[in-house]
Amino acid sequence: MMLAVSLLAALGIFSGTHASPSPPAPEPIEVFELPLPPVISNTTEGSCTADINPRGTGCIHQVFDEFQAGDFTPDGKHVIVNVEFVGAPAAPNPASIYSGEQAILIKADGTTFPNGDTWKCLSCGVPAGNARSLDPERDYPHVARNGKQALWGHNIIDCGDFALTSSQCTPNQTHIYPIHWPTSVDGSGKGGIPREMRLHPDDTHMGWSSFTSTGGQFAYFGRLQFNPSPKDGIPLAPRYDLVNVNVLIQSHGVGPIMANGTELQLHDEAISVGELRGFSGSGDEILYIGSPREANNIDVFAIHVTTGAVRRLTSHPEYIDPLAFSHDNNWFVGMDTRGSNRQMWMSGMRYIPPLIDLVTVTAASSTRNNGARRFFQPVLIDRYGDRDTYFGQGVNVAGNGSSGSVNDPNWNGRADPAFSPDSTKITFWQAIVASPDCGGVNPLVCPVSTADGGRTYRVMLAHLTKRSPQQPAPIFQIPDKIPWATPFPPGASAPNQYHLPAGNYTLRGKVQGVAHAIITSNPETGGYRSVSVRYEDYSDVKGYVINGTESVTSINTPTDPWEVKLEWYSDLHETGVVTATKKTGPGGFHLSTNAQTNLFKADGTLTTTIDGVIYEQPANGT
């Protein structure tokens, strides 16, 4: 039965949660920290001495500025990470190559490489002729399924015939090629800066995102094509070009909220891809952060590459962002604020339609963090996603919460988590909260890192001990054209998307009741100025009835799309399965923050209460 159901889902026949099997029981998970190279805090040339590393294979920086962990090699015994080597001696000392941002493999099975190290650098000492005109972006390291290549930011590390793990994969055998996205007809690549690049499981296609000048974000999908001797564009060095690029917008497609006369209609089938987050285990679905389905509740979705069927993967009121599927395609692990109560004050009341989100969506993103402090921890969810009362299982919840323990809340999850190819292990990384996001006027006292050398970051391995190794799902064959997307050749611009006109509308609840919405536009920004909603016995889900009013006005400066300035008034009541309220205090709630710095600042209060449990906004600056 399970097999039949998952097969039908893989074929895109089921979407939504109605056909989902009953949720899995929690399973035992053991979490360990993985070793990294020796740590130094002094970055001066020569500080990485033979006392600290007798083998002369590098020392890494105590702070995590450039650090990022990626995923496993095909044998499941190594994890790729991006480190910053510091304190190397000057050339011609052979140790001089262990300098700057580099991609390394770390051992995930407790063994060492032949030289005795628990790590091996993939990019150090690669001859200059093998690594011409590299792109400075070195984020989101990712091992290709073929084990011989790795994505390293906007570059591909390539070890020719050898596995990256092999001792035959030496610097001389290694090439590193930049990735070029020709967005303009002259090949210059001006016209869009790719970010958040993710490699498809077929090792040939890529997905990425790019910001528009107005702070919007589009997602793209294309194919890597090796270009040994480019004739145009930058760099004029052997590179990978992105070809057959599609922007993940459906031309003339439906919008998530549309007007039909004076009626509003919600379209769950709308293709509304925000930031691209990767792929399912077989590569048949693209994962992304999408338009909210409930007010102030940010979720991840999956869209089938050919059918365009959209699945909502998460519904928990808290905020989710990075995620990764298991290679058997039956599970995913997400980095989520659930459990921290970070966002419950704005999103905790369930099944409010996403109307105020026309002006508040950036607020939900900017309040999920406090500066560099994240509230993410990894959560394990089956492929069908959150449903009913199932919200997955915390990966690192066991422990006593003491300083440095696996569930120490001061160690915050970062992007990306990953599954081992046999789906029995998960790796994720964390950074410890540091000044100015603790200490000083902040009531949170800065914790002292108990990691090796006082490192402010750590890589963790979670072993799903009851699982037996699983075969990866067969890789989905990507067609040349994604039927629902829009080709984006050099010089193209994104198609216009449906824009809900300002106006006075009625939205009928799926179960009962009605919401009256007044939506006004802001001609200066081209966006919306305000949304005011009055709910009358409104219900989209049986047992959840909403009454009351909610009104939010955006007073952003038109010049800065990252700026969030909201005047917010809520007086909502929910009855039935729960008794809940969402209320602003006298004078309302006035939020002013910035989606790039994410420092919380508000006058007034917004509080959500559910069955007597009170969720309050964070204090300013925390």
Ligand X SMILES: *[C@@H]1O[C@H](CO)[C@@H](O)[C@H](O)[C@H]1NC(C)=O
Q: Give me the residues that bind ligand X (CB under 6 A), please.
A: 42, 44, 47, 127, 170, 172, 260-261, 265, 400, 402, 405, 503-504, 518, 536-537, 545, 547, 575
- The single-letter code of the amino acid at 465 is T
CB 559 within 8 A of CB 572: no
Q: How far is the CB of 499 from ligand X (least distance, A)?
A: 17
Q: How far is the CB of 224 from ligand X (least distance, A)?
A: 27
d(CA 70, CA 75): 15
Task: Provide the greatest CA pair distance for the chain.
Answer: 77
Residue number, 328 or 540, with CB nearest to ligand X: 540
Q: How far is the CB of 92 from ligand X (least distance, A)?
A: 13
Residue number, 127 or 474, with CB nearest to ligand X: 127
Residue number, 56 or 604, with CB nearest to ligand X: 56
d(CA 56, CA 124): 12
Q: How far is the CB of 578 from ligand X (least distance, A)?
A: 12
Strand residue runs (E) in 291-424 = 300-304, 310-312, 320-325, 331-336, 377-382, 393-394, 411-413, 418-419
Helix segments in 304-438, DSSP class H? 344-347, 357-366
Q: How far is the CB of 406 from ligand X (least distance, A)?
A: 8
What's the token pair of residue 335? 């980095």
3-class SS letters over 545-580: EEEEEEEEEECCCCCCCCEEEEEEEEEEEEEECCCE
Q: Which of 83, 147, 82, 79 is nearest to 109 (CA)?
A: 79
Q: What share of the chain is helix, strand, coil (3-state, %, to 5)?
A: 5, 40, 55
Q: How far is the CB of 147 from ligand X (least distance, A)?
A: 22
Q: Are strands 527-541 and 273-279 parallel, antiparallel or unpaired?
A: unpaired
Residue number, 17 or 575, with CB nearest to ligand X: 575
Query: 279: part of which helix (H) or strand (E)?
Result: strand 273-279
Q: Are strands 78-85 and 68-72 parallel, antiparallel or unpaired?
A: antiparallel
Q: How far is the CB of 520 from ligand X (least distance, A)?
A: 9
Q: Which residue has the tokens 């929910």?
A: 574
CB 617 within 8 A of CB 345: yes
Residue number, 102 or 532, with CB nearest to ligand X: 532
Q: Please report the sign of the dihedral spanned by the C-alpha atoms of residue 494, residue 496, residue 500, residue 501.
A: positive
Residue number, 177 or 544, with CB nearest to ligand X: 544
Q: How far is the CB of 518 from ligand X (least distance, A)?
A: 5
What's the token pair of residue 617? 């906004």
Residue number, 158 or 241, with CB nearest to ligand X: 158
Any long-range contacts for 516-524 (C-beta under 8 Å, 24+ apart)?
Answer: 517/264, 517/355, 519/355, 519/358, 522/554, 522/556, 522/558, 524/558
Q: How far is the CB of 41 from ligand X (least distance, A)?
A: 8
Q: How far is the CB of 342 from ligand X (least distance, A)?
A: 24
Q: How far is the CB of 514 from ligand X (least distance, A)?
A: 9
Q: How far is the CB of 558 from ligand X (least distance, A)?
A: 23
CB 68 within 8 A of CB 139: yes
From residue 253, how far is each of 137, 274, 285, 353, 498 by CA, in Å?
Answer: 34, 15, 19, 21, 7
Q: Are strands 263-266 and 149-152 parallel, antiparallel or unpaired?
A: unpaired
d(CA 404, CA 122): 29
